[in-house]
């Protein structure tokens, strides 16, 4: 069999082409369009309840260790006011100057805010595999480049060391296969393994809101009680704690390998721990900057902590808000590639009315299934009434009839059917 020899330039060209093909295939995704829909609340609050008072004095903060009570209350008021079903005020007292209990029915929100944080410390071990040989080094380096994984070089033999993960191992297999086809296969490349120990800290923050929604007027009743929570966790590795505790050279099991290393025969043949750990850069790490990204080993930076708490507050209140008030939600759906290209681009840019005009100008008998689907998506995305959802559903059905079995079109039918089933409930919750 004729062997093929490549120079260094050809090596890099081959690797570049392989990396590019993997990168393109990984980054090629679907095209989506976003639009906002209004959804009904889980319960229907009587329409006469138009004012809501959040009683700050009746929201307990005994276990609010992060001091987020005021932020929770204000976020709750702002979100409910934005959705428009209620006029919401934050008060510490409630009397006749704020509403007339003889003529008005209002709602009061009260409850409890709980929050805190914990730090857990400990140690863990990490195993890195180091490969040698031309194909071993190239395949390890290539896999690390594709998956953005950090590597280190073993000073003992110049091996390429990486911690490895599923994606990286799969990429290494692909690269080594490509090198084998290029005539660079040297059989199984020699390897060694390094075990290191690290100190870590786990930082966690949590928030919980326990609220009730009470109606006050000629009658008094509690219509909703919810307890919702959210949490955040961050594992931080202390950068100065790396210690090499064991090194195993898988190629040091034979006398030939041993002689090639030391050039002096040694008897009896030692075990795998013959190579000293200090030979493999004990201060080197197998994590890249992303894996070690930590603002501080003891705490979160103030700016990041504020961002985390803001997100916790939002997630903690989400279920309670959706229980008592109709809410708006962003929906992300796929745009069908094909059909009229101009309409596809307009739809992706959120220009729904212009998309409708472009597609409706095409004679019905000349529209492809993608055109019918994208027309339905344009009506759904810009829907202002139940009739718009009816039109969208009708267009989705036509698209499915022209291309039976297309999952994307069936999803559009199911989605609009759900919206239409909710319109009566939504009307009962929001009509003036």
DSSP category for residue 246:
E
What is residue 6's predicted lDDT score, i.e. its pLDDT? Answer: 39
Q: Which residue has the tokens 């919206």?
A: 419
Most confident residue range from 116-130, 148-162, 299-313: 299-313
pTM of the model: 0.64
Residue 416 has pLDDT above 80, yes or no: yes
Report the length, in residues, of the chain. 432
Q: Which CATH class is domain 41-119+202-237+297-324?
A: alpha beta
Q: What value does the mean pLDDT of the chain take?
A: 77
Distance from C-alpha of 249 to C-alpha of 207, rounded to nearest angstrom:
49
What residues have CB less than 8 Å from 306, skipping those under 6 apart? Answer: none
Share of residues in the chain with pLDDT > 90 (%): 36
The segment(s) of the chain belonging to CATH 3.30.160 are 41-119+202-237+297-324
How far apart (Å, rounded) are the C-alpha atoms in residues 332 and 329? Answer: 10
pLDDT of residue 258: 42
Q: Provide mean pLDDT across the span 4-33.
A: 46
Residue 114 has pLDDT above 80, yes or no: yes
Residue position matching structure tokens 């000073």: 155
CA distance 371 to 400: 11
pLDDT at 85: 92
pLDDT in tens, 193-212: 777 777 778 889 999 999 99
**pLDDT of residue 15 exceeding 80:** no
Q: Where residue 248 falls among pLDDT bands split at 50, 70, 90?
A: low
Only one residue has tokens 């009962």, namely 428
For CATH 1.25.40.10, the residue range(s) in the chain are 337-430
Q: How far apart are CA 4 and CA 119, in angstroms?
A: 57
226 touches 320 (CB < 8 A): yes
Burial of 396 per CB tally in 10 Å (0-12, 13-18, 19+): buried
Q: Is pLDDT at 316 greater than 60 in this prediction?
A: yes
Q: What single DSSP character describes residue 64?
A: B
CATH of 337-430, one of 3.40.640.10, 1.25.40.10, 1.10.3720.10, 3.30.70.1230: 1.25.40.10
Task: Say if CB 159 and CB 280 are below 8 A apart.
Answer: no
Quote the CA–CA distance of 352 and 34 in Å, as a whole number.
11
Do the strands 87-91 and 49-60 form a parallel or antiparallel pair, or are they unpaired?
Answer: parallel
Q: Which of 24-33, 59-68, 273-282 has the lowest mean pLDDT?
A: 273-282
Nearest to 130 by CA among 156, 109, 108, 111: 156
DSSP state of 250: T
Q: Residue 296 phi/psi, 5° resolution?
A: -165, 150
E-strand stretches of 144-282: 152-154, 159-162, 191-216, 220-237, 243-249
pLDDT at 266: 41
């Amino acid at each position: 069999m004729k062997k093929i020899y490549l120079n260094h330039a050809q090596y890099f060209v081959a690797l570049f082409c392989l990396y590019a093909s993997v990168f393109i295939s990984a980054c090629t995704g679907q095209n989506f369009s976003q639009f906002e829909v209004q959804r009904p609340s889980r319960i229907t609050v009587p329409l006469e309840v138009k004012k809501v008072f959040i009683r700050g004095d009746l929201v307990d903060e005994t276990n609010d260790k992060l001091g987020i009570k005021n932020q929770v209350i204000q976020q709750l008021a702002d979100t409910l006011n934005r959705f428009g079903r209620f006029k919401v005020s934050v008060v510490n007292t409630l009397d006749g100057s704020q509403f007339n209990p003889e003529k008005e029915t209002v709602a009061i929100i009260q409850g409890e805010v709980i929050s805190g944080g914990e730090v857990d410390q400990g140690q863990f071990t990490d195993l890195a595999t180091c490969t040698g040989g031309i194909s071993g080094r190239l395949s390890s380096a290539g896999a690390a480049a594709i998956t953005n994984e950090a590597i280190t070089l073993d000073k003992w033999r110049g091996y390429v060391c990486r911690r490895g993960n599923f994606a990286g191992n799969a990429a290494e297999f692909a690269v080594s296969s490509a090198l084998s086809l290029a005539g660079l296969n040297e059989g199984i490349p020699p390897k060694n393994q390094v075990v290191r120990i690290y100190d870590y800290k786990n930082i966690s923050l949590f928030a919980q809101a326990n609220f009730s929604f009470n109606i006050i007027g000629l009658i008094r009743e509690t219509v909703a009680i919810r307890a919702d929570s959210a949490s955040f966790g961050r594992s931080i590795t202390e950068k100065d704690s790396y210690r090499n505790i064991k090194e195993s050279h898988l190629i040091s099991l034979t006398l030939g390998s041993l002689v090639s290393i030391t050039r002096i025969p040694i008897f009896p043949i030692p075990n795998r721990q013959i190579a000293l750990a200090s030979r493999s850069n004990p201060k080197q790490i197998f994590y890249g900057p992303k894996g070690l990204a930590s603002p501080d080993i003891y705490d979160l930076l103030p700016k990041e902590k504020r961002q985390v708490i803001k997100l916790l507050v939002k997630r903690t209140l989400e279920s309670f808000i959706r229980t008592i008030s109709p809410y708006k939600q962003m929906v992300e759906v796929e745009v069908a590639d094909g059909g009229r290209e101009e309409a596809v681009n307009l739809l992706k840019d959120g220009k729904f009315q212009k998309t409708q005009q472009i597609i409706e100008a095409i004679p019905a008998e000349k529209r492809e299934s993608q055109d019918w689907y994208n027309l339905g998506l344009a009506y759904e995305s810009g829907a202002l009434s139940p009739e718009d959802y009816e039109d969208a559903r009708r267009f989705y059905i036509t698209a499915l009839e022209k291309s039976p079995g297309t999952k994307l079109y069936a999803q559009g039918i199911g989605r609009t059917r759900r919206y239409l089933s909710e319109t009566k409930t939504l009307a009962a919750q929001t009509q003036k």
